[in-house]
């Protein structure tokens, strides 16, 4: 079913191409014969549909380039034939047969002949032997035999040693003996024969025939002794080796720690090499370094005072906190701290620390009381679960508040005690007229002191200073404190009040 | 073609072992013909010197008699295994060496002509020999090949070297446990180090031990009658451990020769070994042996029972001999650890590392389950870096020597080594020793 372009056009009620062409340009009319000359790779029907007006498509529809089919030989079938061949490596006329491609050249050399490589070996004449090669350990026959065996087995020394048969009356030869004899003969031959090349190549050749028998023997002995170790010896060696490793590691650790300590304590004075790196170190001493430092100071702001601190790199340049960086900081929870601007001397320098290490500790005298007060609240002041900045500040303020509270309470207690004492005295002064010489009842004092103790047991150490002589016996027995101390404090404090 | 180095000239490979003769084309991976080395024969002229009493079962020396040259031979799969009246059984191979060349041409001819259907005069042939072969033996083999089979070319190669080649190694320590001999051959660059070569008749000891276990009564069972199925007329199934119910073929008993009976018994023992015996992979341990499951085995008589730890005692003989056994037998075959240390001691200290890194385990006798594991355990106890090449494929393990020959004879570079007919005629026997180093 052939559908021509004109059919489609008529079906779609388009003006026919010929009329279209005619109306627009007076181009030469395309004959029917031209249309049939379709480009390669496009079907006839499709071409008839789209017409010649799609050159871009044609490029696409060019015959797809599939993977090239493997080319087995020239034309599909390969003819093989059984052909006898001769091996050039052989000295006889043996003909073996093998299958080869019929197209192969029958006269070609057998491809495996090239692997028949003969190693070159030295031979010597009788004259050479008598002139250079005499050796009291070796007869000429034995040397000949050695050279034959070496040639036969292509200097595979283990095999040579295995197949070498010493003469019945001669000594047994070790592998080193054989090698030594062979190489020394070769060296002598090279040295004494006329040499056509240059000296360097001769020396190189001589070098390749070098053999140190004693060293080789020592090496072998060493290998043998290594293999002859008993399991106990091996275990001991291994244990020693591990111990050595451990000691080395310990020493390294110790040295590291010592350096660390020196660095912390002495800084640059310790003379440790890796401290010098910073410009405020040694370089400050030399004029050159000083200049350089000054120059640097212009570029990035560094502490201007020469100091011996071990800084962890140059201090970060102060930059204006732009809105952007502030937002960035807030987002990433970065809190910028102003560096201590006043001085960065060694004494005031604070190294990098954990925030939790710097928690404020209450005064030593107040510590137990503060701790107790906090424990009553259910807070453990020594350890923060989450020592964030806020938490640290809050703990700090809490401890401050507690200290303040304790101080206040102490003052309150003292004042109350004063009031009580004064009241007692006042009462006594007024009663003195009625009951002469009668002192305040111990019960009263006890009650007062006991009430105070109930309110704040910790305050009584301070309060008892104010207790007068008669009250002290009761207090001391009750609190179980050193009587001596109480007496001492009462002696000092009770006088002027 | 040149890339892989192969060039097949349709050579044949012949491997004569103690238990079977293998023959096939070079380049194949399995021998085409595998026939037993044992053969049956009937002397045509029955002379009076037939003395059969010498083959006591506990004696692990094989028969030393030579076959009369004019005897009628029964070869191949239907040879010795078929009962014939008055048929004797012989084996030309002793201690892996051919000691009786009379039946050899017939055996070779059977393998090549009757089984493989080839004309030997058209193919070069590669024959294998054990490393301890004598020069006279290999020359005799060359003579047979050239004069009787008219082969165009001949080569004789060492099984140790061929086993190393089969494993793809030029240097290796080949541990070959065959039917009659266990040997350790150090091979360096394709040459056997003769000084490090050791061998012992260990498999014979293992077989003797197995026979001893089976035929001697224990607390739980009586001695087992090792009768071949050829001599049993009928039998009834019995419970495990119960006495067998069978009747013998009385008509055959009188015509059965002693050598045939011995051969059959050893076959029964071997069958039992092959199906039941094993090696404990971590040395002998009564508990470990007892913890392994027992295996049932049924003999041709119908007697069947479960074999527990005793099946591991058999394989243990390869690695360990009890002191009382050593005391009783002064010339006991050396076990494998002894052989190994002996072989290594003879080698250069430099070589030991190389050899231990290339241990090749081969031979049908090494197919005991757990043998390779045990060997590895024994070796790694004494040497730091041991690598054992033990083909898992039983064909490769059993016919490693043949396989190496198949590889060697199909190499393009090998073809200049053949001893041609022309060279044989020119130089005579010495050429064998010169060419086949």
Query: What b/e string do you get for A468-492 counting C-beta neighbours within 10 Å, with b at 16 or more?
Result: beebbebbbeeeeeeeeebeebbee
Of B191, B194, B412, the CB nearest to A156: B191
Own/partner long-range contacts of A468-472 (Cβ < 8 Å, ≥24 apart): A468/A421, A468/A494, A469/A494, A470/A439, A470/A440, A470/A442, A470/A445, A471/A442, A471/A445, A471/A446
Of A87, A116, A156, the CB nearest to B189: A156
Best to test chain A binding among B415, B425, B431 (most A CBs inside 10 Å)? B415
Number of alpha carbons in the 13 Å side-chain half-sphere of residue B281: 7
ipTM: 0.84
Mean pLDDT of B233-256: 89
Q: Does A97 touch chain B (CB under 8 A)?
A: yes
Q: Tokens standing for B168?
A: 């793809």
Which residue reads 């060039």 in tokens? B7
Within 10 angstroms of residue A354's Cβ, the number of other Cβ atoms is 8
For chain B, the helix, strand and coil percentages under 3-state DSSP, each to the nearest 5: 40, 20, 40
Residues of B in contact with A115 (CB under 8 A): 412-413
- pLDDT of res. A419: 93
Cross-strand partners of A97: A84
Which of the two residues, B408 and B220, has the higher pLDDT score?
B408
Residues of B in contact with A156 (CB under 8 A): 188-189, 191
Residue A112 to residue B2, Cβ atoms within 8 A? yes
Spatial separation of the C-alpha atoms in residues A93 and A216, rounded to whole Å? 46
Of B192, B412, B420, the CB nearest to A92: B420
- pLDDT of res. B350: 87
Which residue reads 């003989």 in tokens? B317
**Res. A492: pLDDT tops 60:** no
Nearest of B99, B207, B173 to residue B348 by alpha carbon = B173
**Res. B280: pLDDT tops 80:** yes
Spatial separation of the C-alpha atoms in residues B180 and A407, rounded to whole Å? 105
Spatial separation of the C-alpha atoms in residues B355 and B379, rounded to whole Å? 12
Residue B9 to residue A97, Cβ atoms within 8 A? yes
**Res. B93: pLDDT tops 60:** yes
The chain B residues in contact with chain A (CB within 8 A) are 1-2, 5, 7-10, 124, 152-153, 188-189, 191-196, 347-352, 412-413, 415-416, 418, 420-423, 426, 437
Spatial separation of the C-alpha atoms in residues A231 and A238, rounded to whole Å? 10
Mean pLDDT of A256-267: 84
Q: Does A159 touch chain B (CB under 8 A)?
A: yes
- Ranked by mean pLDDT, which of A289-303, A323-337, B2-16 comes out on top? B2-16
With contact defined as beta carbons under 8 Å apart, do B211 and B190 qualify?
A: no
CA distances from A450 to A373, A463, A472, A474, B89 (A): 20, 11, 12, 10, 123
Residues of A in contact with B152 (CB under 8 A): 94-96
Q: Tokens standing for B402?
A: 């043949």
Q: Does A256 touch chain B (CB under 8 A)?
A: no
Which of the two residues, A277 and B283, has the higher pLDDT score?
B283
Residue B1 to residue A111, Cβ atoms within 8 A? yes
- pLDDT of res. A18: 52
Scanning A124-143 for CB atoms below 8 A from B yields none
Cross-strand partners of B295: B307
Residue B191 to residue A92, Cβ atoms within 8 A? no
Please count the residues of chain A: 497
What is the tens place of the pLDDT at every residue in A347-403?
666 667 777 677 667 677 778 888 888 888 777 766 777 777 788 888 888 888 888
Residues of A in contact with B420 (CB under 8 A): 90, 92-94
Residue B437 to residue A153, Cβ atoms within 8 A? yes
With contact defined as beta carbons under 8 Å apart, do B136 and B105 qualify?
A: no
What's the pLDDT band for A75 if we cut at 50, 70, 90? low
Which residue reads 């056509």 in tokens? A196
Residue A92 to residue B422, Cβ atoms within 8 A? yes
Which of the two residues, B287 and A12, has the higher pLDDT score?
B287
Spatial separation of the C-alpha atoms in residues A335 and A351, rounded to whole Å? 17
What is the tens place of the pLDDT at every residue in B303-359?
989 998 888 989 898 998 888 888 888 888 899 999 999 999 898 888 988 999 999
Spatial separation of the C-alpha atoms in residues B405 and B126, rounded to whole Å? 7
- State the DSSP H helix or E strand holding residue A452, giving kind and residue range, or none if neither: helix A442-455
What's the pLDDT band for A490 if we cut at 50, 70, 90? very low
Quote the percentage of chain A above a pLDDT of 90. 12
The model carries a pTM of 0.65
Q: Tokens standing for A397?
A: 């303020």
What is the tens place of the pLDDT at every residue in A189-210?
888 888 887 888 888 888 888 8
Q: How many residue pairs from chains A and B have C-beta atoms closer than 8 A?
A: 87
């Amino acid at each position: 079913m052939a559908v021509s372009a004109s059919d489609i056009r008529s079906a779609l009620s388009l003006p026919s191409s010929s009329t279209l062409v005619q109306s627009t340009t007076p181009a030469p009319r395309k004959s029917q014969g031209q249309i049939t000359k379709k480009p390669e790779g496009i079907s006839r029907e499709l071409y008839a549909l789209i017409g010649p007006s799609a050159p871009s498509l044609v490029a696409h529809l060019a015959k797809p380039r599939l993977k090239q089919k493997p080319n087995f030989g020239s034309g599909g079938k390969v003819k093989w034939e059984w052909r006898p061949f001769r091996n050039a490596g052989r000295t006889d006329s043996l003909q073996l047969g093998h299958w080869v491609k019929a197209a192969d050249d029958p006269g070609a050399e057998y491809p495996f002949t090239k692997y028949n490589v003969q190693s070159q070996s030295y031979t010597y004449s009788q004259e050479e032997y008598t002139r250079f090669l005499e050796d009291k350990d070796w007869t000429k026959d034995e040397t000949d035999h050695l050279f034959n065996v070496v040639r036969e087995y292509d200097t595979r020394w283990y095999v040579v040693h295995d197949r070498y048969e010493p003469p019945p009356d001669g000594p047994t030869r070790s592998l080193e003996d054989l090698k030594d004899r062979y190489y020394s003969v070769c060296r002598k031959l090279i040295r004494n024969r006329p040499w056509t090349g240059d000296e360097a190549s001769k020396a190189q050749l001589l070098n390749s025939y070098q053999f140190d028998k004693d060293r080789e023997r020592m090496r072998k002995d060493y290998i043998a002794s290594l293999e002859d170790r008993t399991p106990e010896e091996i275990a001991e060696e291994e244990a020693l080796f591990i111990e050595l490793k451990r000691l080395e590691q310990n020493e390294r650790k110790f040295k590291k720690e010592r350096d660390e300590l020196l660095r912390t304590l002495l800084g640059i004075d310790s003379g440790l090499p890796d401290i010098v790196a910073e410009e405020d170190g040694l370089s400050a001493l030399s004029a050159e370094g000083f200049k350089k430092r000054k120059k640097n100071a212009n570029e990035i702001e560094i502490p201007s005072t020469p100091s011996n601190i071990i800084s962890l790199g140059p201090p970060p340049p102060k930059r204006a906190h732009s809105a952007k960086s502030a937002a960035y900081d807030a987002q990433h929870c970065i809190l910028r701290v102003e560096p201590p601007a006043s001085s960065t001397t060694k004494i005031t320098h604070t190294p990098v620390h954990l925030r939790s290490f710097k928690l404020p500790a209450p005064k030593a005298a107040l510590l137990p009381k503060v701790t107790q007060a906090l424990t009553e609240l259910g807070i453990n002041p020594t350890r923060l679960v989450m020592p964030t900045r806020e938490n640290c500040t809050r703990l700090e303020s809490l401890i401050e508040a507690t200290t303040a509270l304790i101080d206040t309470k102490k003052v309150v207690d003292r004042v109350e005690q004063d009031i009580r004492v004064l009241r007692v005295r006042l009462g006594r002064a007024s009663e003195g007229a009625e009951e002469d010489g009668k002192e305040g009842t111990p019960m009263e004092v006890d009650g007062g002191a006991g009430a105070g103790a109930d309110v704040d047991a910790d305050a009584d150490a301070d309060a008892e200073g104010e207790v007068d002589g008669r009250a002290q016996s009761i207090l001391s027995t009750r609190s179980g404190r050193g009587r001596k101390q109480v007496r001492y404090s009462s002696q000092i404090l009770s006088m002027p009040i | 073609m040149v890339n892989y180095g192969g060039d097949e000239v349709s050579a044949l490979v012949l491997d004569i072992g103690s238990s079977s003769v293998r023959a096939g084309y070079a380049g194949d991976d399995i021998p085409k013909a595998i026939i037993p080395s044992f053969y049956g024969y009937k002397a045509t002229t029955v002379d009076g010197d037939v003395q059969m009493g010498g083959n006591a079962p506990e004696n692990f020396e094989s028969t030393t008699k030579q076959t009369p040259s004019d005897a009628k031979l029964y070869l191949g799969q239907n040879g010795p295994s078929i009962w014939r009246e008055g048929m004797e059984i012989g084996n030309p191979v002793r201690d892996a060496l051919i000691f009786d060349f009379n039946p050899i041409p017939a055996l070779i001819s059977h393998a090549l002509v009757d089984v493989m259907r080839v004309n030997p005069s058209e193919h070069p042939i590669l024959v294998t020999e054990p490393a301890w072969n004598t020069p006279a033996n290999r020359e005799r083999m060359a003579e047979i090949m050239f004069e009787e089979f008219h082969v165009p070319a001949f080569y004789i190669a060492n099984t140790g070297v061929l086993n190393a080649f089969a494993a793809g190694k030029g240097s290796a320590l080949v541990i070959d446990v065959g039917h009659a001999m266990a040997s350790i051959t150090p091979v360096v660059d394709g040459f056997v180090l003769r000084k490090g070569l050791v061998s012992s008749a260990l498999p014979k000891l293992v077989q003797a031990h197995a026979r001893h276990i089976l035929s001697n009564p224990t607390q739980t069972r009586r001695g087992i009658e090792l009768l071949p199925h050829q001599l049993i007329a009928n039998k009834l199934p019995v419970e495990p451990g119960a006495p067998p119910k069978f009747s013998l073929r009385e008509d055959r008993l009188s015509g059965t020769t002693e050598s045939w009976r011995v051969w059959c018994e050893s076959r029964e023992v071997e069958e039992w070994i092959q199906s039941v015996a094993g090696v404990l992979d971590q040395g002998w341990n009564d508990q470990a042996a007892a913890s392994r499951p027992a295996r049932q085995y049924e003999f041709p008589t119908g007697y069947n029972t479960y074999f527990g730890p005793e099946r591991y005692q058999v394989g243990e003989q390869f690695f360990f001999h009890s002191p009382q056994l050593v005391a009783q037998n002064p010339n006991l075959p050396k076990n494998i650890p002894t052989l190994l240390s002996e072989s290594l001691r003879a080698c250069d200290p430099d070589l030991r590392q190389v050899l231990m890194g290339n241990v090749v385990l081969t031979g049908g006798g090494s197919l005991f389950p757990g043998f390779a594991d045990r060997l590895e355990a024994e070796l790694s106890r004494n040497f730091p870096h041991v690598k054992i090449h033990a083909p898992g494929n039983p064909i490769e393990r059993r016919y490693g020597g043949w396989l190496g020959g198949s590889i060697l004879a199909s190499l393009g570079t090998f073809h200049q080594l053949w001893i041609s007919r022309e060279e044989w005629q020119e130089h005579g026997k010495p050429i064998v020793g010169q060419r086949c180093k």
